[in-house]
Amino acid sequence: MAYQVAVIPGDGTGPEVTREALKVLDAAAKAYGFAYDTVTYDLGGERFLRTGEVLPPSVLAELRTVSAIFLGAVGHPKVAPGVLERGLLLTLRFELQQYINLRPVKLYPGVECPIKGKEPKDIDFVVVRENNEGLYAGAGGVLRKGTPEEVATQLSVNTRAGVERCIRYAFEYTRRRGRKRTVKVEAGDLAAVSAGASGQTVEFTHRERGKMRARLLKRDEAGAELEATGILTMCGKTNVLTFEQDLWWRTFHEVGAADFPEVFRDYAHVDATCMWMVKNPEFFDVIVTNNMFGDIITDLGAMIQGGLGVAAGGNINPEGVSMFEPMGGSAPKYTGKNVINPLAAIGAAGMMLDTLGERRAAAAIDAAIAATTPKMQSMAAGKMGFSTTQIGDLVAEAVREGESRTRDEDEGRER
C-alpha cells in the first residue's frame, strides 16, 4: 500500500526546497522499494492574501486522513506575523495532536561549526520538545488594556497526560537510538548499589533520581563508573517554576524508574543546558523539555550544527498524522533564485520516512547528506558552490549509489 503524503510547499523558498526533498524521496522509494502518492495543497501567504483563508476546515479534514504531511516553509512579507504561524502551523500541531517536536542536532562532515575544535563526533544529539501544552496553549488574557493599570497573563498549561506521553516518547526514542554511554555517579549520590562485579549489570539508586540499571565498569571510594543504554536529560527550571517543573520532575523519574531503568536519567536547568550545548555538546544524547524551552534550545542547536540550512524537524503524533519541515523559514529574499540550501528539507524527508517505518531508506538519506556536505563550500544560501537543484541532484545520486553499494555487499556475503 502506498503512503499518502500531503505536500504544502508554502511560501518564499518553500517550493524550491520541497522540490528537492521530493526528488530525494523519489530516489529513496525506487532504491528501497516503497510506494507513495502526493497531494499538493495551496496553503500559505499567497492563498491568505487571495482568499482570506489560512486553513479551510475541508482541508484540515483531508489532512487528518493522510500518512504524513511535508511542509516547505510558512511566512510572507505581506502577511502580519502570527497569522500564518498560528493559523496554520499551530493549528495543525494542536488539531492533529502532534505532541512531539523532534529536532536532531547533528554536525555533518565538512560543515563549519562555530564552536572551536568540535567535530561531527561531538555534536550528535536529539531534542524532544513537548509540542501541545505549556505557554503555547494560549491560556491567559489582558485586563484594562491600554491603561496604566494594564495586566497581561500567559499561563503555562501542563497536564500529567501531556507531560507523560512526551517523556515516555523520549525514553522510547533514547532506547531505540541505543547509544551506549559511560556515566559517572559520585559516591555521595549513590544511595544503594546491588552486588555485582565489573562487567555485570547492577541496579543502583541515585540519591535524587531514584532507581536505574547499568553495566558496572568500575567502583571505588569516589563512586561508580557505569555503562547505560543512552542518557536522557530533562531540561527544565525546577528551582523557579516550582509547580510546572515539579510535575515534570516527578513524571520523568517515575516513568524512567518503572519502565526504562536502563536509560540513565540526567537533569540540567535550561540556562545550564545552553551553556553545555556550547561548551560540551558531546555530553548530550537525548534531551526532553517543555514547549518554550524546547523552542529556544533547538535554535541554538541549529547554530552549532552549522545553521538553519541543515536543521530539520518533525511534529510527531506517534499514533496519527505527523508533519515534517525544514527549520529555516521562507527566506523571501532568496525566492526564485535557486540558491537556497535544501538539505534541511531533504533531512525532513528522511525523518518522515523514519517515522513511517522506512528506516533503511531514512538512514540512506542521512548518509547521502553526509556524503554531500564535504563537497559544498558553505551551508549559506548563495555560497554553497552549487545551486539548490544541484544539491538535490547530489543527494539523490548518493542515495542511489548507497543502495547499489549495499546490494553488492549483500550479494558478496551470500556468495
- Cell match 554511554: residue? 181
Distance CA 35, CA 16 (A): 23
State which H helix or E strand residue 155 sits in: none
pLDDT digits (tens, 9 = 90+) for 101-144: 999 999 999 999 999 999 999 999 999 999 999 999 989 999 99
User: Using one digit for the tens of pLDDT, what is the confidence trace for 138-194?
Assistant: 899 999 999 999 999 999 999 999 999 999 999 999 999 999 999 999 999 999 888
Instruction: Provide the 10 A C-beta neighbour count for residue 47.
Output: 21
Judge whether residue 413 has pLDDT over 70: no
When comparing pLDDT for 412 and 129, which is higher? 129
Say how far residue 224 (Cα) sits from the centre of its chain: 32
Whether residue 261 is predicted with pLDDT greater than 60 in this model: the reply is yes
Spatial contact of 25 and 350, defined as CB atoms under 8 Å apart: no
Cα distance between residue 306 and residue 380, in whole Å: 9
For residue 195, give the DSSP letter. Answer: -
- pTM score over 0.85: yes
Whether residue 24 is predicted with pLDDT greater than 60 in this model: the reply is yes
Per domain, the residue ranges of the chain are: 1-111+307-415, 113-179+230-305
Overall fold of domain 1-111+307-415: Isopropylmalate Dehydrogenase (3.40.718)
User: Using one digit for the tens of pLDDT, what is the confidence trace for 43-78?
Assistant: 999 999 999 999 999 999 999 999 999 999 999 999
Nearest-angstrom CA–CA distance, 166 and 321? 16
**Residue length of the chain:** 415
pLDDT of residue 298: 97
Q: Supply the CATH classification number for the domain 113-179+230-305.
A: 3.40.718.10
Q: Do domains 1-111+307-415 and 113-179+230-305 have the same CATH topology?
A: yes
